[in-house]
Structure 1
Amino acid sequence: MPTPEQVTVAPAVVFRHGLVLTMDDAHTVIPDADVLVVGMRIEAIGVGLEVPEGTVEVDASGGIVMPGMVDTHRHMWQTAMRGYGADWTLTQYFVWNYLEHGRKFRPQDIYAGNLLSGIEAIDAGVTTSVDWSHGLSSVEHAEAAVDALEEVPGRFVFGYGNIHAGPWEWTASPEFRSFVERRMPRSEMLGFQLAFDVTGDPAFPEKAAFEAARELGVPVTTHAGVWGATNDAGIRLMHEHGFMTPETVYVHAATLSDDSYQRIAATGGSASVSAESESSCGQGYPSSWALRRHGIPISLSVDTSVWWSADAFAAMRATLSADRAREHHEAHASGETVTHVALRAREVVEWATRGGARALGMDHLVGSLEPGKRADVVLIKNDESPAMFPLLNPYGHVVFQAQRGDVHTVLVNGRAVKFEHRLIGADLAKARTTVAETVDHLRGELGEQEWIGGMSPDIPESKVLDNPYTYTEYADSSTHAATRDEA
């Protein structure tokens, strides 16, 4: 094997004798094949490729070569609090994030979370991540978030959000507009979205934020179909005002009616499924089962490691398991037996790669291994693992057998950022230090009793069960209020 230094400076890299999942339109799988990368691009894929002089060879035998995975919804800033909320419900998260602890994050704390999150994404073979950054209570917080993204050798899309103010307010501020002009060039390595939710308020105050997105020429990503927060009324308002576009990404989409799904399908939008999240905290049943019925394109996301794994392998596994569980459940309810599952492992791998690329308008660049595309390439290979052989069903192996520890090599835009299971060009020591400073800051701000209590926060007397968004007095009576009134 070459050294990491040789891989990083080589003019070309070839993966030899791997099992190649191209994820192209024909779903081509090539055993014992080579993938040649020259510069930033994939040059060729085939058996026994001839390579230019100076090419570094990576032995991919016994491994799977596949496109880098694409995560369309990750609250990166929260990574500094990894695992803190393992036992939360969604309502407790709302209390922690919107009402209490989330307000105490300084710009340097946003930076710390983003730095660690970006590093762990590429370590796990996620070469493109959407930073759904809804903790930006000031432009200084946004500056810090982007500073961190630019330090990590990954591909990112910055979703600017501020859950502490109305989107119609912060999108109109001169400070926000200045930030966009200065920091958002929308390059191949750093894209841009607006990230905000639609409460369902009939006055539709979010209209101004959609108009700002249209003026700036950027897509909107929004949490839709989240129990107790966003529902069919928000979808209807978006549709009636002409703001549902093919570029819109609907995150979760778990508690919507057929009417809403039909509106999404008709306008060409896509959904980001976070099955670990939806299964655990109550947005609604993981939505791939419903989305498939309506022909809505799907991508996958990990949501946040303040709760879960931030691991695309776990996201694929959770999605496939939840979808099949629902299929069996529905069949049993009508006295039927499922003899052939509808959702296949191949489709879930596609959602984790090509699906994300399509959702972000990047399918011409990444998401599949094809000559001419950018070289975002992952080698899954671990000769020390008894779970990495035999390789019989490659898609099933990626979903059910592999894990982040099996990611051997990662290229982003042709640059090696991980080799032989070790990161290259990522300052993990710096991330460790900055995250430790953030934890110390929050513990000191809260005090030990409140810090411990935050792992299972009480629900205060407030409207949080009807609407968690502190920037509006609107309350949706379709959830807690409706139940209370009936009682």
Structure 2
Amino acid sequence: MSPTEVDAQLDRILARETDPERRIVLRGAHIVTMDDRGTFVGDLLVRGGVIEDVVPGSIGHVDGGLVIDATDRIVIPGLIDSHVHAWEGQLRGIAPDVPFQSYMAIAHGGLAPHYTPQDIAIGQTVTAMQAINGGTTTIVDNSHNSRTSEHSDAAIDALLASGIRAVHAAGSPTVTSPSALPADVLRLRDSLAGRGHGRVTVRLFDVAPSLETWRFAAEHSLDVSSEVAMGMPGLEDALASDLLGPAHTLNHCAGLTTDMWRRIADAGAAVNLAPRSDPHYGLGASVPVMDAGAADVQVGISSDNELSYAHDMFTEMRVLLTVQRGLAFARAAAGDPGPVPYGVLDVLRAATVGGALNANLAHTIGTLTPGKKADFVVLTTNTVSTSPWGSVHGTVVNFSSAANVEAVFIDGRVKKWAGELVGFDLPDINTQAERSREQLLSAYGSQLAEVRAGLHS
């Protein structure tokens, strides 16, 4: 289509965006359902904010449907980032080489105390925009800088305005009050009633497993995300507790024993791995993907933060694939035939189905299944990196990037079209982000010239 025709089609989609009966048909796409129907060439029908049907071949004529020609495109479920600290968005790339202790000193000890609600809002917006641009439709937002009710409100409002699907995990500031319960989360949950069509929900965030927090969550029917690594105080008691269950999302899970993994699996808790974060910050030589596999735990994938590297779920998938295959082949060479090397579909499953489990939204998102939310990504195959192309799944995982993300729909609403974001004023957002970053750095006692060289402490 010509640029004029592309724009006209977008206008038609947007004109009926709030119509719950609006129908959109994607015709002739390579559809990766991630459910038991597999992958096929066919049509996807969206009605309002819900997937109405997905069929091999043609769905036929749809009265009043807006038809999108998806020939030679690949349609996948929206990617899901199981653990990201969205408030840090304007800190992107300020500390590319630091270990974990320096990350904590810079982000939490140095910059976090100076965040205003406005800083929180722009950080959230930058993170959501980057996520959507790269095909991520849902984030589990681990917000450990919820200093006041105003900070929390700003975080929620920014997520709602961005159009992303988000689970906002409200938590206390890591350094100043690591054990304080964010009871304000109950007010936040109430405040979301009737807003955003349920796209943004609330849970608790725990910077370390805490029975106090877990009891609070259970008493108030809240899910909870927790940072988990061997050596954390109270970890053994927490994982042995009968409070642990499907309402729990465990991040990192570095250094855990076989018995701990068994308890997690038996409890049905969700686990996400941070393929780049753990080795980058020194939490482990690699992520515990083999331990998770041995315990038969379906993992999700996490980008963690952008202080050192970009939010990019395609890269996270590739790193996880390479790490797991390397470890599996090494064990096979040592005489252990047990671990099966991952294929590309395994890491795509982690980024979709596994992410839905971590968000506790598996009934709603994660697969292209009729009745689920219309969260999906259209990938073009006509870029330098994907033309010519071979395997559908291999092209998604090993050859695609944000440049291939042609369209993004969340709740049936278009957020990226023809490779351009929809509903974001990029120049204004960048101006706000740069202003926020400068003010934070000034309060921290640093300046942009030092950031350009990379902060180290």
Find the residue that maps to 1:170 and give its secondary structure. coil
Q: CA deviation at 1:183?
A: 4.3
How has the CA–CA distance of structure 1 residues 390 and 128 changed in structure 2, closer, same or farther, with 3 Å as cutoff?
same
Could you tell me which residue of structure 2 aligns to residue 279 of structure 1? 279
Matched, 1:68 2:78: yes
Could you tell me which residue of structure 1 aligns to residue 321 of structure 2? 320
Among candidates 158, 166, 170, match of residue 156 of structure 1: 166
How has the CA–CA distance of structure 1 residues 319 and 59 changed in structure 2, closer, same or farther, with 3 Å as cutoff?
same
Letter in 2 for 1:376: D
Could you tell me which residue of structure 2 aligns to residue 23 of structure 1? 34
Equivalent pair of 2:365/2:373 in contact (CA under 8 Å): yes
Q: CA deviation at 1:428?
A: 2.2
How has the CA–CA distance of structure 1 residues 413 and 115 changed in structure 2, closer, same or farther, with 3 Å as cutoff?
same
**Aligned partners of 1:62, 1:194: CA distance in 2, in Å?**
42
Equivalent pair of 1:80/1:435 in contact (CA under 8 Å): yes
Matched, 1:394 2:392: yes
Percent identity, aligned pairs only, is 26
Residue correspondences, number: 441
Could you tell me which residue of structure 2 aligns to residue 181 of structure 1? 190
Q: CA deviation at 1:136?
A: 1.6
Per-residue CA deviation, residues 422-455 of structure 1 (Å, 9 max, x unaligned), is 1112232332122011112023223446972894
Could you tell me which residue of structure 2 aligns to residue 13 of structure 1? 24
Letter in 1 for 2:74: I
Per-residue CA deviation, residues 381-409 of structure 1 (Å, 9 max, x unaligned), is 042x1222334221111111000110001
How has the CA–CA distance of structure 1 residues 165 and 456 changed in structure 2, closer, same or farther, with 3 Å as cutoff?
closer
Find the residue that maps to 2:67 and give its secondary structure. strand
**Aligned partners of 2:72, 2:126: CA distance in 1, in Å?**
30
Q: CA deviation at 1:361?
A: 2.3
How has the CA–CA distance of structure 1 residues 95 and 185 changed in structure 2, closer, same or farther, with 3 Å as cutoff?
farther
Could you tell me which residue of structure 2 aligns to residue 245 of structure 1? 245
Letter in 1 for 2:27: R
Equivalent pair of 1:74/1:130 in contact (CA under 8 Å): yes
Matched, 1:169 2:169: no
Could you tell me which residue of structure 2 aligns to residue 462 of structure 1? none
Could you tell me which residue of structure 1 aligns to residue 403 of structure 2? 405
**Aligned partners of 1:444, 1:340: CA distance in 2, in Å?**
50
Q: CA deviation at 1:61?
A: 1.5
Q: CA deviation at 1:184?
A: 6.6
**Aligned partners of 1:62, 1:249: CA distance in 2, in Å?**
37
Could you tell me which residue of structure 2 aligns to residue 436 of structure 1? 434
**Aligned partners of 1:269, 1:67: CA distance in 2, in Å?**
23
108-117 vs 187-196, greater mean Cα deviation: 187-196
Letter in 1 for 2:444: L
**Aligned partners of 2:269, 2:164: CA distance in 1, in Å?**
26
**Aligned partners of 2:129, 2:11: CA distance in 1, in Å?**
19
Give unmatched runs, 5+ long, in structure 1.
200-205, 459-487
Matched, 1:375 2:374: yes
Equivalent pair of 2:189/2:202 in contact (CA under 8 Å): no
**Aligned partners of 1:181, 1:362: CA distance in 2, in Å?**
19
Q: CA deviation at 1:177?
A: 4.4
Matched, 1:366 2:365: yes
**Aligned partners of 1:303, 1:176: CA distance in 2, in Å?**
22
**Aligned partners of 1:339, 1:165: CA distance in 2, in Å?**
45
**Aligned partners of 2:110, 2:243: CA distance in 1, in Å?**
32
Letter in 1 for 2:29: G
Equivalent pair of 1:81/1:306 in contact (CA under 8 Å): yes
Equivalent pair of 1:116/1:428 in contact (CA under 8 Å): no
Equivalent pair of 1:40/1:415 in contact (CA under 8 Å): yes
Q: CA deviation at 1:359?
A: 2.5
Could you tell me which residue of structure 1 aligns to residue 19 of structure 2? none
**Aligned partners of 1:184, 1:261: CA distance in 2, in Å?**
36
Among candidates 81, 88, 100, match of residue 78 of structure 1: 88
How has the CA–CA distance of structure 1 residues 260 and 130 changed in structure 2, closer, same or farther, with 3 Å as cutoff?
same
Could you tell me which residue of structure 2 aligns to residue 357 of structure 1? 356
Could you tell me which residue of structure 1 aligns to residue 45 of structure 2? 36
Among candidates 103, 120, 123, match of residue 113 of structure 2: 103
TM-score, normalisation: structure 2: 0.90
**Aligned partners of 1:30, 1:281: CA distance in 2, in Å?**
40
Q: CA deviation at 1:337?
A: 9.6
**Aligned partners of 1:98, 1:12: CA distance in 2, in Å?**
46
Equivalent pair of 1:269/1:297 in contact (CA under 8 Å): no
Q: CA deviation at 1:330?
A: 3.4
- Structure 1 vs Structure 2 CA RMSD: 2.4
Equivalent pair of 1:17/1:61 in contact (CA under 8 Å): yes
**Aligned partners of 1:184, 1:457: CA distance in 2, in Å?**
43
Q: CA deviation at 1:95?
A: 1.3
Could you tell me which residue of structure 2 aligns to residue 468 of structure 1? none
338-347 vs 367-376, greater mean Cα deviation: 338-347
How has the CA–CA distance of structure 1 residues 375 and 429 changed in structure 2, closer, same or farther, with 3 Å as cutoff?
same
Equivalent pair of 1:247/1:360 in contact (CA under 8 Å): no
Among candidates 424, 427, 434, match of residue 426 of structure 1: 424
Q: CA deviation at 1:176?
A: 5.2
